[in-house]
Amino acid sequence: MSELQYSYYPGCSLHASAGEYDLSTRELFAALGIKLTEIPDWFCCGATPAHNVDELLSLSLCAKNLELAEQVEGDVAVACAACFSRLKFTQHILEENETKRKQVEQAIAAPVHLNGTVKHLLEILARDLGLDRLAKSVKKPLSGLKVACYYGCLLTRPNDVPNLDCVEAPTIMESVVEAAGAQTVAWSHRLECCGANFTLSRPGVVLQLSNAILDSAKAAGADCIMVGCPLCHGNLDIRQKEIEGVYHTQYGMPVFYLTQLVGLALGLSAEKLGLDALIVSPFPLLRERQLL
């Protein structure tokens, strides 16, 4: 089988607050023999706020990044759910609307590239690499670990844009972590919003929504939560202590990036996966399950 290779769009969060997601992505993909080449001169895609302020700007930011990706061979690999959503949404809009496409081409002074495929890391692991190959790469199965897979808002919605998996009943996350040997739990809040970028403007909303997610995962018997989005991770991990104080409860529930859990199963070290960067320490749980 030919080498899997991708142009890699890390996005702003992975070069800042979610550095451990970037680190674990690179280490995991290298261990799997998947080549990632960072897109030269990439910049912010506008993430969640830009399209609410200036649609043309938002579309142009993504379109320019897609043009830059043409310099690197392979489909575009994206780790952040927000970046994934905006890049896919831009392709969808500009394919459907010729007027907006011409406006964007004028704004970026270049033709719009719509034939490149944008893929979330989950898609690459589950379909391009394949679950069988992933399972065969496992050296230290995540046996006994009960994982709540959290999709959030953007990985599968809206219905006609990401096309990552079934909108209402996705299974791709569960398939990936189960291939790594873990057990997944059925729970009510895996598709609910965590509050995303309201974390600064409306923190009370974020605390309420994120508390409901943590409470649901705990009630389902999960040991930890797995995410594929820096925004979700920030609200569930960084704010967890604050949530516990406001709601007079105790979760102590580690929140992993999907690349960290799969990387553990491949035998990668805690250092290479950036586990020490998590606010809720995963080490007591991992030692208890003999996964370190």
User: Does the pLDDT value for residue 253 go beyond 50?
Assistant: yes
- Contact criterion met (CB below 8 Å) for 148 and 226: yes
DSSP per residue over 167-223, as a string?
SSS--HHHHHHHHTT-EE---TTTTS---TTHHHH-HHHHHHHHHHHHHHHHHTT-S
Mean pLDDT over each residue of the chain, to the nearest integer: 95
Q: What is the rounded CA–CA span in Å between residue 274 and residue 292?
A: 13
pLDDT score of 272 more than 60: yes
The single-letter DSSP state of residue 110 is S
The helix/strand/coil state of 56 is helix
pTM for this prediction: 0.95
Taking only the tens place, the pLDDT of each residue in 21-62 is: 999 999 999 999 999 999 999 999 998 777 778 899 999 999
Residue written as token pair 């960067």: 277
Please give the C-alpha separations between residue 5 and each of 33, 69, 142, in angstroms, as whole numbers: 9, 13, 27
- Poorest-confidence range of 152-166, 172-186, 192-206? 192-206
Q: What is the pLDDT of residues 204-232, one digit of tens each?
A: 999 999 999 999 999 999 999 999 999 99
